[in-house]
């Protein structure tokens, strides 16, 4: 907020010089009810226009690449294959625990197989008090519908270059093919315009546990996907597609 593109470039260059092998660059969101939101409403801060935000984002990608980083997710860049294991887990649809105040989690019931979202108490003091009294800081848990599970796999998966695994999608959707869940016309348009592409599943190895291995140095072979290959592939954003993935996802999920 109140930041010019020139200031952003200078600040980013400094950050990249002192960064280790990973950097995350997120646009600041102004949430209703926060002190920042109130200050913004009072005119103390000015939000940049979308065109300026887009230019600053392009600057972030170019500068990061110049410093040897590889963009592997919309807002995340790695060097020497040092990616975020935790974040990659929830982009790939794996379970994760939300532990602290306000934390969210996603777990699979070991008995029923139902997928659940968990929400912890926001207030640190109230969270601590409930932990002492009840042994946890959980505020609520919500069982996801099958539609929500499938949409979530697409929304989170396409935020990163690992994309959406057809095998993982089929396993969590009750056996449905990924393409059956998507708007085929929009999907074909995105593939034809080099925004999305099919990659062999060896592109990234995602075991059923929590360990993941990126193989960005050996890019997966592009495939068209015959019937025998469908389970052995994943739908991935291209570099062009990753920059506009927020526009792509609603289109391919619309039916």
Check: CB of residue 203 under 8 Å from CB of residue 215. Answer: yes
The pTM for the full model equals: 0.82
**110 CB-near residues (< 8 Å, 6+ apart):** none
**200 CB-near residues (< 8 Å, 6+ apart):** 220, 221, 223, 232, 233, 234
The C-alpha atoms of residue 164 and residue 248 are separated, in whole angstroms, by: 14
Of 231, 236, 208, nearest in space to 220 by CA: 236
Q: CB pairs under 8 A, 24+ apart, for 219-228?
A: 222/197, 222/198, 223/198, 223/199, 224/198, 225/198
The C-alpha atoms of residue 236 and residue 104 are separated, in whole angstroms, by: 26
Give the three-class secondary structure for 137: coil
The residue ranges of every structural domain in the chain are 5-82, 89-144, 147-253
The C-alpha atoms of residue 248 and residue 33 are separated, in whole angstroms, by: 30
The C-alpha atoms of residue 236 and residue 254 are separated, in whole angstroms, by: 18
Q: What is the pLDDT of residue 178?
A: 96
Instruction: Return per-residue pLDDT of the chain as tens, 255 residues.
Output: 678 889 999 999 999 999 999 999 998 888 888 899 999 999 998 888 889 999 999 999 999 999 999 999 999 999 998 999 888 888 999 999 999 999 999 999 999 889 999 999 999 999 999 999 999 999 999 999 999 999 999 999 999 999 999 999 999 998 999 999 999 999 999 999 999 999 987 644 433 443 445 444 334 444 444 444 567 899 999 999 999 999 999 999 997
Instruction: Output the six-digit token pair for 148.
Output: 């929500």
Q: What is the pLDDT of residue 164?
A: 95
Q: What is the pLDDT of residue 255?
A: 76
Give Cα separations from 251 to 26, 115, 126, 132, 178 (angstroms). Answer: 23, 25, 41, 46, 15
Give the three-class secondary structure for 108: strand
Q: What is the pLDDT of residue 46?
A: 86
């Amino acid at each position: 907020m109140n930041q010019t593109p020139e200031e952003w470039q200078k600040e980013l260059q400094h950050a990249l010089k002192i960064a280790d092998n990973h950097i995350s660059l997120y646009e600041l969101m102004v949430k209703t009810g926060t002190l920042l939101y109130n200050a913004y409403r009072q005119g103390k801060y000015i939000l940049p226009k979308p065109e300026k935000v887009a230019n600053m984002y392009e600057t972030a990608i170019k500068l990061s690449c110049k410093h040897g980083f590889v963009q592997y997710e919309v807002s995340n860049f790695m060097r020497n294959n040092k990616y975020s294991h935790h974040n990659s887990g929830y982009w790939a649809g794996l379970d994760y625990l939300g532990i602290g105040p306000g934390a969210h989690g996603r777990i699979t019931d070991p008995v029923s197989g139902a997928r659940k979202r968990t929400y912890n108490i926001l207030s640190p003091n109230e969270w601590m008090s409930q932990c002492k009294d009840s042994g946890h800081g959980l505020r609520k848990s919500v069982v996801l519908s099958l539609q929500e599970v499938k949409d979530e796999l697409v929304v989170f998966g396409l935020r990163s270059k690992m994309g959406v695994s057809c095998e993982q999608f089929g396993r969590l959707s009750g056996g449905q093919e990924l393409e059956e869940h998507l708007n085929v016309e929009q999907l074909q348009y995105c593939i034809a315009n080099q925004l999305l592409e099919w990659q062999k599943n060896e592109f990234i190895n995602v075991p059923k546990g929590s360990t993941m291995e990126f193989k960005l140095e050996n890019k997966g072979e592009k495939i068209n996907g015959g019937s025998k290959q469908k389970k052995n592939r994943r739908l991935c954003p291209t570099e062009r597609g990753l920059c506009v993935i927020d526009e792509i996802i609603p289109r391919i999920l619309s039916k």
